[in-house]
Chain A
């Protein structure tokens, strides 16, 4: 470690102002603070001092994503071997999934960080850390069969239009990872929805078992199917939905793995438990209301099953809690999360064009969160003014 420190100190003079590579100063600084926690301390009137800076916070989210990622890698292999009808061992499935998922992760990081570094050089500010998380979120919310150039394009779109035009990390209105997904969803619907994209190899259809269906459970529910079937026609139990060996985007299927990540986020205080809880509450309530007024099978789907299907849990834990785009006030977080849950189920069940409403619900509430904050603060001011008047009397 100290050798590394010495090396960094040795090359540092070249990168500071006046040095040979001073134009790459932000790049150097980005790597240096990535390797070593900077010793700069907040000065001025900030009252909370914490050794946990943005890079360490972001890494915590990446760590929380690892269970979902690992499960997604295994599930990719599992679904593939189910589709081609071969027996395969555990490690064989993991290896297959790893080879499919790794390129998506690499493309997402290379493109995203490339743009981040370029912007940092042009604008002469520090490298923004936000992409550490975004780069991991993007691969987890796309189907495994998505072409890599589409991932690259969506990442570029999300970083430039979703973030850099607003001024970089911390200034964006919309969650960048969801911006990338929304871009893919609307630009290339053929590769982002339907029942052919979720399982590797289904699209070109070679060696697939006869009659195999790759429809996601939500896709089946939208067809008003009463019992969910996996690809080869076996029924799927709610426990399997919770466990997650069902078709879907890479990281979204396993509610169990997502909850593991959620515990880490809540324990370390990085993710807001209020938002996570209220998203689930909102979703459950809306599902329950739809149950009461059910006129078709989808509306009659037990409300708790909505919470473990599709991207609901993933969105609630990793997308809605994004501290930049979520509501900032404590009461606002309850409102923000609750409305995400309500809207997600509403779009999911009542709009047949969008089988998954979580993405749109979160993006929509991202736009509204400053408004929510505004009214929460206004209400608080009014309340306190009223109290002041009463005391004056």
Chain B
């Protein structure tokens, strides 16, 4: 793997891992994978499972495609990529069904729809097709982590404000409810996920001016 004697965690490789968490985040900067971010973030637990699933799929497919990259005829590369992703997704789906049935039911079709998650196709096409397996693995892990990070932040606020719970433990004390506090029903509806993502983008861009497009 390391024919040119580059250290495993060189600055360049670490950048692959770190950048998707911040300045090239797949959701907040590249605005990819939004539909699953809207759909699964009502509660924290399914979001964490979703994040882990995407990470598994993306990291492994990235490595597989990177290993095959010189063998794949360019004209059918998308089909090959999809076959790899689909295989991984089916594996993840089966594992979830076997070991976490309840959550798998909550996530329902969205596990299957990881196949169409633009982040995965995007990374395979943009990175794994032209890079070695080790950087591809890091890139896959980094992007999936960036995706998962946003998912978990959004789900945290939606579950806290929409249901008054964190990981299904009630955190807002009953005395609040007796005083007239009511859970925010809008937080449970998908539009609020979009608004929360929007607020994250707003905060990120006001801290990092490089991300603001010049008009």
Q: Which of A162-193 contact B (CB under 8 A)?
A: 165, 183, 186-191
B186 adjacent to A183 (CB under 8 Å): yes
B198 adjacent to A189 (CB under 8 Å): no
Expressed in whole angstroms, the Cα–Cα distance for A357 and B170 within the complex equals 35
B186 adjacent to A190 (CB under 8 Å): no
Residue of A nearest to B202 (CB): A165
Is A82 interfacial (CB 8 A cutoff)? no
A191 adjacent to B182 (CB under 8 Å): yes
Is A161 interfacial (CB 8 A cutoff)? yes
Number of B residues near A (Cβ < 8 Å) is 11
Q: Which residues of B contact A187 (CB under 8 A)?
A: 184-187
Is A51 interfacial (CB 8 A cutoff)? no
Residue of A nearest to B182 (CB): A188
Is A147 interfacial (CB 8 A cutoff)? yes
A188 with B195: in contact, given A147-B180, A165-B202 (CB under 8 Å)?
no
Q: Which of B167-189 contact A (CB under 8 A)?
A: 180, 182, 184-187, 189
B185 adjacent to A186 (CB under 8 Å): yes
Expressed in whole angstroms, the Cα–Cα distance for A189 and B187 within the complex equals 13
Expressed in whole angstroms, the Cα–Cα distance for A165 and B205 within the complex equals 12
Expressed in whole angstroms, the Cα–Cα distance for A147 and B182 within the complex equals 10
Identify whether the interface residues of A are mostly helix, strand, loop, or mixed.
helix
B 179-215 binary contact with A (CB < 8 Å = 1; else 0): 0101011110100000100110010000000000000
A 180-216 binary contact with B (CB < 8 Å = 1; else 0): 0001001111110000000000000000000000000
Which of A147, A150, A165, A186 has the most chain B CB atoms closer than 10 A to its own CB? A186
A189 adjacent to B195 (CB under 8 Å): no
A186 with B186: in contact, given A147-B180, A161-B195 (CB under 8 Å)?
yes
Residue of A nearest to B184 (CB): A187
A190 adjacent to B198 (CB under 8 Å): no
Q: Which residues of A contact B199 (CB under 8 A)?
A: 161
A188 with B185: in contact, given A161-B195, A165-B202 (CB under 8 Å)?
yes
A 141-155 binary contact with B (CB < 8 Å = 1; else 0): 000000101100000
Q: Which residues of B contact A188 (CB under 8 A)?
A: 182, 184-185
User: Whole-angstrom distance from the CB of B206 to the nearest CB of chain A?
Assistant: 10
User: Whole-angstrom distance from the CB of A158 to the nearest CB of chain B?
Assistant: 12
Q: Which residues of B contact A149 (CB under 8 A)?
A: 180
Q: Which residues of B contact A183 (CB under 8 A)?
A: 186
Expressed in whole angstroms, the Cα–Cα distance for A191 and B182 within the complex equals 9
Residue of A nearest to B206 (CB): A122
A 113-145 binary contact with B (CB < 8 Å = 1; else 0): 000000000000000000000000000000000
A 59-83 binary contact with B (CB < 8 Å = 1; else 0): 0000000000000000000000000
Expressed in whole angstroms, the Cα–Cα distance for A183 and B195 within the complex equals 12
Expressed in whole angstroms, the Cα–Cα distance for A148 and B3 within the complex equals 68
Expressed in whole angstroms, the Cα–Cα distance for A305 and B75 within the complex equals 65
Expressed in whole angstroms, the Cα–Cα distance for A165 and B201 within the complex equals 11
Q: Which residues of B contact A150 (CB under 8 A)?
A: 182
Expressed in whole angstroms, the Cα–Cα distance for A150 and B185 within the complex equals 12
Q: Which of B130-186 contact A (CB under 8 A)?
A: 180, 182, 184-186
Q: Which residues of A contact B186 (CB under 8 A)?
A: 183, 186-187
Q: Which residues of B contact A147 (CB under 8 A)?
A: 180
Q: Which residues of B contact A190 (CB under 8 A)?
A: 182
Q: Which residues of A contact B187 (CB under 8 A)?
A: 187
User: Whole-angstrom distance from the CB of B120 to the nearest CB of chain A?
Assistant: 30
Q: Which residues of A contact B202 (CB under 8 A)?
A: 165
A165 adjacent to B182 (CB under 8 Å): no
User: Whole-angstrom distance from the CB of B181 to the nearest CB of chain A?
Assistant: 8
User: Whole-angstrom distance from the CB of A2 to the nearest CB of chain B?
Assistant: 44
Which of A147, A150, A186, A187 has the most chain B CB atoms closer than 10 A to its own CB? A187
Which of B182, B187, B198 has the most chain A CB atoms closer than 10 A to its own CB? B182
User: Whole-angstrom distance from the CB of A326 to the nearest CB of chain B?
Assistant: 23
Task: Identify 5 residue pairs between A and B in the complex whose beta-carbon atoms are under 8 Å apart, listed by A's number.
Answer: A161-B195, A187-B184, A187-B185, A188-B185, A191-B182
What 10 A-B pairs are tightest by C-beta distance, nearest first?
A187-B186, A186-B186, A187-B184, A187-B185, A188-B182, A147-B180, A189-B185, A186-B185, A161-B195, A186-B189
Assuming A149-B180, A161-B198, what are 12 further A-B pairs, CB within 8 angstroms?
A161-B199, A165-B198, A183-B186, A186-B185, A186-B186, A186-B189, A187-B184, A187-B185, A187-B186, A188-B182, A188-B184, A190-B182
